[in-house]
Amino acid sequence: MYWQKLKTYTIPEAEKRVGIILLIVLLLPILAFTVFELSRLNSNEQMIQEIYSNQLDAVLFSVNQYSNDVLNQWANEFSINEEAENIPIFLQQFIDYNPAVKEIILFSFSENNEIKSEKYSLDNNELIIDKSLDSTWQNIVFQEQEVIKKQAEFIKNNYQKIEVFPIERDSLVPMTFALKSEFEGMGFVALMVNTQIFIEDILAPKLQEVTRDKFIMTSFVTKPDKRQTYFTDSLNLDEVTLSRPLWLLPDHYLGIAMKGNNIDKISKARTKQNLYIMLFIDVFLLLAIYLVYRNIRKEIVLARVKSEFVSNVSHEIRTPLAMISMFAETLLEGRVKNEDKKVTYYKMITDEALRLNGTVNKILNFSKIESGKQRFEFFPTDLQLMVDTCLQSYQSQFSINNFEVSFNKKPNLPLVSADKQSLSEAINNLIDNAIKYSKERREIIISTAKKGKFVLLTIQDFGIGIPTEYQKDIFNRFYRVPNHDIHDTKGTGLGLTLVKHIIDAHKGKIELNSALNKGTTFKLYLQPIETDI
């Protein structure tokens, strides 16, 4: 059927379409924007990092450059004093002025490539000259003779190249250079520099000068263990942002970090903050999209339900009208002679008119509720009496449809505060439904009780039941459980909306208990007039 087709396919399609449109129009741009912003944040951070690390690198470079300058200056002093009359005095003064230089070794290669050397050191301010061969030293020079001899060639071209050999003996590192003219008959000098004193005496003042209040610098060795040899301010090695080898001292490094909140940390914190803001905006937008989608969906469902309602109401009105006109015509034409049959026909006309009246009333009441014009007048009411009256009006229906109905009354039930007309309408709606939605087992049990501070009315049937997933919706206007079996039973989807509204107006509660194919129980909790039974 066209109508069923419309119901089953068109509406979910429409919902899907809305979903897809929202996805394309809103979600995708948001995602694209987020990805773009994230990559921008990332590249910004990288740029800041780069600038920052370049700056740190420059500082480390300047310290290395400075230690090179110191060494060059030392070599220079030797060149200036090449002509000195008393070389031992010069050497003594040199060691004296430069505590980092512990020993000065003068050495040369003889014609048959043997190594001659003299070692000068201070002991109690006295220059000690050791002419015996230091075997470690001899070995180093022997191994490195190619490099050392090249230094002699460089000096002939007025370029003093200084070599630092990565060998540490008793914390002394050799730094060699060649001399233009011989010194005590030797062509090369090796300054044996104590690394720790070099750092403390020569580098420390420079480090203090460059760091000022901005940086913290530290020097450290990596062998045999990683340990700090000096720092300008207390700094853990794992807090070091950037480190570079110290050119002159083997296995020695310089590390640097910014003091306080450095740019690195600030930029990271800013990135993190931006990330959170973006995340928040995204979540917010997603929520907005979800709400828009939900509202549109609701509207779609409402549109569907409304058109279903029109179809249902037309049916609800057309059927009794057809019956009435059919019976009336038959009677009018005088075709029914039998008086009993006539009575049956009159009865049927009356029943159908009542049914029609019921449907129209339901719609009118609903429209009153919607426009807020419904007025209630509360009077002390005997609920059980009211139920009796309702049941009486259903007598013929019960007997035609073979219903077994029982009403278990509670003695001495308090009166309830009720608007008689509307409360009986609510009860009628529930009985109506119990009849409509019962199949094989045609039994209705009604009972009253006192429950807490409420008077309780229970209406139970053993019909088709309501699947759990639809139970929350059945009080919504126009709502009917989407099930083909049920749709064989016509209705407006307004009955329970009215019941809910009426019970709310009575400051009562409705409870629903239903299981598919087992039956449904509605419990109405109403306000009693007296508190004592």
Interface residue list for ligand ADP (CB under 6 A): 429, 433-434, 437, 461, 463-466, 474, 479-481, 486, 491-497, 520
Shorter beta-carbon distance to ligand ADP: residue 214 or 315: 315
Give 196-233 as a DSSP string. HHIIIIIIHHHHHHHHTTTEEEEEEE-SSS-EEEEESS
Q: Report whether 87 contacts 164 (CB < 8 A).
A: no
Q: How far is the CB of 370 from ligand ADP (least distance, A)?
A: 15
Shorter beta-carbon distance to ligand ADP: residue 119 or 362: 362
DSSP state, residue 247: S
Q: How far is the CB of 477 from ligand ADP (least distance, A)?
A: 8
Shorter beta-carbon distance to ligand ADP: residue 116 or 368: 368
How large is the greatest C-alpha to C-alpha distance in the chain, in angstroms? 163
| Rounded Cα gap, residues 494 and 477, in angstroms | 6
| Rounded Cα gap, residues 239 and 301, in angstroms | 61
Q: How far is the CB of 480 from ligand ADP (least distance, A)?
A: 3
Q: How far is the CB of 481 from ligand ADP (least distance, A)?
A: 3
Shorter beta-carbon distance to ligand ADP: residue 225 or 488: 488
> Nearest-CA neighbor of 486 among 466, 511, 514?
466
Give whole-number Cα distances, 183 to 107, 133, 160, 162, 455, in Å. 9, 18, 15, 17, 122
Shorter beta-carbon distance to ligand ADP: residue 151 or 520: 520
β-strand 404-408 against 443-451: which pairing, if any? parallel
Reduced to 3 states (helix: H, G, I; strand: E, B; else coil), residue 290 is: helix
Shorter beta-carbon distance to ligand ADP: residue 373 or 484: 484
DSSP state, residue 200: I
Shorter beta-carbon distance to ligand ADP: residue 151 or 433: 433
Q: How far is the CB of 376 from ligand ADP (least distance, A)?
A: 20
Shorter beta-carbon distance to ligand ADP: residue 172 or 494: 494
Q: Report whether 467 contacts 428 (CB < 8 A).
A: no
With CB atoms as reference, the residue minimizing the distance to ligand ADP is 491
Q: How far is the CB of 288 from ligand ADP (least distance, A)?
A: 32
| Rounded Cα gap, residues 278 and 35, in angstroms | 10
Q: How far is the CB of 8 from ligand ADP (least distance, A)?
A: 17
- Contact residues for 43 (Cβ-Cβ < 8 A; gap 6+): none
Strand partners, 397: none
Q: How far is the CB of 334 from ligand ADP (least distance, A)?
A: 38
